[in-house]
A and B are shown apart, each in its own frame.
Chain A
């Protein structure tokens, strides 16, 4: 079945540092890929998405590129802020089943 593997956390960075959170997936066909973010005490919210190979999703300074050749969708940000502290989830939807498959999440803490 489909699966998502993302780097284990926690990740601790200083403000203005560069962020990479790795995500790889296993799926047949051509899934759509997502990054969701969960701020403390809240539900998840969509950060960015990409629906086909070589698409780049971007939002709030975060970017991720759909790489079919490496089955990856790594999340990057050039300069993190304290307000980016959250749990980040990589996810995919495959086919017409409407079901999201999530990775286990990566906790990011950004210190001032």
Chain B
């Protein structure tokens, strides 16, 4: 059981480039989310989805797009990368059985925007 898989693990972009961070889970979880982790800031929610075809904004959504065409996949798109988006990105999923269910995290993508 692979759990939550994120690719790539590392990425360097130039300002203005676009890219997609991939996230896939094989646990049939309905809830998926993207966080960014910055020093001294903890984790901040970017976007989340409670099921295929349903997405919503989190705390820091600007500059990021998401879609959820299948239960398994939840890609995060940076349309025009900015240095402020340099961060470590984590995808997480959870069964949609209740708000006290734990999150399962991927191992992260370290992104640098020059």
Give the contact-size bracket for chain A.
20 to 34
B58 within 8 A of A: yes
Return B41 CB to nearest CB of chain A, in Å: 6
Binds B, one of A13-21, A69-77, A78-86, A99-107: A99-107
Known pairs A95-B99, A100-B103; A89 contacts B94 (CB<8 A): no
Q: Are B45 and A44 in contact (CB under 8 A)?
A: no
Return A6 CB to nearest CB of chain B, in Å: 9
Specify which chain B residues have a CB less than 8 angstroms from the CB of A49 in the assembled complex.
Answer: 100, 102
Q: Are A96 and B99 in contact (CB under 8 A)?
A: yes
Q: Are A89 and B103 in contact (CB under 8 A)?
A: no
How many Å lie between the Cα of A103 and that of B48 in the bound state? 19
Partner of B94, one of A51, A98, A103: A98
Q: Are A89 and B42 in contact (CB under 8 A)?
A: yes
Residues of B in contact (CB 8 Å), total 25
Specify which chain B residues have a CB less than 8 angstroms from the CB of A41 in the assembled complex.
Answer: 107
Chain B residues 34-91 with CB under 8 Å of chain A are 35, 40-45, 48, 50, 58, 90
Q: Are B106 and A100 in contact (CB under 8 A)?
A: no
Q: Are B42 and A99 in contact (CB under 8 A)?
A: no
A7 within 8 A of B: no
Of A43, A45, A99, A102, most buried by chain B (CB within 10 Å of CB) is: A43
Partner of A89, one of B43, B92, B100: B43
Q: Are A97 and B99 in contact (CB under 8 A)?
A: yes
Residues of B within 8 A of A (CB): 4, 31, 33, 35, 40-45, 48, 50, 58, 90, 92, 94, 96, 99-100, 102-103, 105-108
3 nearest A-B residue pairs (beta carbon): A43-B105, A32-B100, A46-B102
Residues of A within 8 A of B (CB): 32, 34, 36, 41-46, 49, 51, 89, 93-100, 102-105
**Interface pairs (8), CB distance under 8 Å:** A32-B99, A42-B107, A51-B100, A93-B100, A99-B45, A99-B48, A104-B41, A105-B43
